[in-house]
């Protein structure tokens, strides 16, 4: 499953021309003709309460194929922190891109079967790989949770898990071994260069401030 999800995430990044972080899910939706609603907006549209949507679907968000509109619709709970919203939107986009839902299978069953659990694991793994591409973290030398959190726009908890993973990956040193990964690296080249220049400036300025403080003391 890991190789399958990794290749799917790389293809998605390339197909959607994602070349900077944090990933913008709203731009992706516009590009693909997918409609995004907040729970408040969708509740008003279908004349239901937000509480009804949460009880009928999920607390974070859900996606489905709309026969009426002829497109995918993604709904999310905008009262949650935006880092959670971003993850939720990519999670639902994973269900679409991995064909967990389609015009023939418009909505995932709410029943937590073994198959549903597997689809959720796949969607989480896909979202993680798109929001935090390992080759980009490697080239930005972003290994600590705080930096990953700021760079990728994800929660501290999610950044902690990604930090543990990228550190293990660094020890193995297996980067640029797949043609798709190399294409993703090339696509992020300008972003990584700019990020590393800004990072170097921050480190330099902080060092100069520290030296100035020691001299004045």
- Average pLDDT taken over every residue of the chain: 92
pLDDT band at 156 (very low <50, low <70, confident <90, very high): very high
Q: What average pLDDT does range 109-131 have in this prediction?
A: 88
Pairwise CA distance, residues 210 & 67, whole Å: 62
The per-residue pLDDT for 114 is: 81
- The pLDDT value given to residue 201: 83
pLDDT at 193: 96
Task: Give residue 98's pLDDT band: very low, low, confident or very high (50, 70, 90).
Answer: very high
Q: What is the mean pLDDT of residues 22-36?
A: 98
Sorted by sequence, the CB contacts under 8 Å of residue 56 that are 6+ apart come out as 110
Domain segments of the chain as ranges: 17-131, 134-217
pLDDT at residue 6, as a whole number: 96
Q: Distance (Å, rounded) from C-alpha 11 to C-alpha 37? A: 26
Confidence of residue 27 (pLDDT cuts 50, 70, 90): very high
Distance of alpha carbon 214 from alpha carbon 217, whole angstroms: 5
């Amino acid at each position: 499953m890991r190789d399958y999800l990794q290749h799917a995430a790389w293809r998605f990044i390339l197909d959607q021309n994602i070349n900077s972080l944090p990933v913008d899910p709203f731009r992706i939706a516009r590009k693909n003709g997918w409609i995004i609603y907040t729970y408040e907006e969708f509740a008003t549209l279908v004349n239901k309460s937000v509480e009804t949507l949460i009880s009928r679907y999920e607390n974070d968000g859900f996606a489905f194929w709309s026969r009426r509109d002829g497109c995918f619709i993604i709904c999310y709970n905008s009262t949650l922190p935006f880092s959670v919203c971003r993850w939720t939107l990519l999670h639902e986009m994973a269900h679409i891109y991995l064909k967990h839902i389609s015009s023939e299978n418009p909505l995932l069953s709410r029943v937590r079967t073994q198959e549903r659990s597997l689809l959720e694991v796949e969607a989480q793994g896909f979202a993680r790989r798109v929001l935090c591409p390992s080759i980009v973290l490697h080239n930005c030398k972003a290994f600590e949770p705080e930096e990953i959190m700021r760079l990728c726009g994800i929660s501290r908890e999610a950044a902690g898990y990604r930090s543990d993973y990228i550190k293990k990956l660094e020890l193995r040193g297996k980067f640029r071994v797949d043609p798709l990964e190399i294409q993703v690296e090339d696509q992020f080249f300008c972003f990584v260069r700019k990020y590393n220049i800004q990072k170097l400036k921050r480190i330099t300025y902080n060092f100069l401030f520290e030296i100035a403080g020691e001299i004045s003391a």
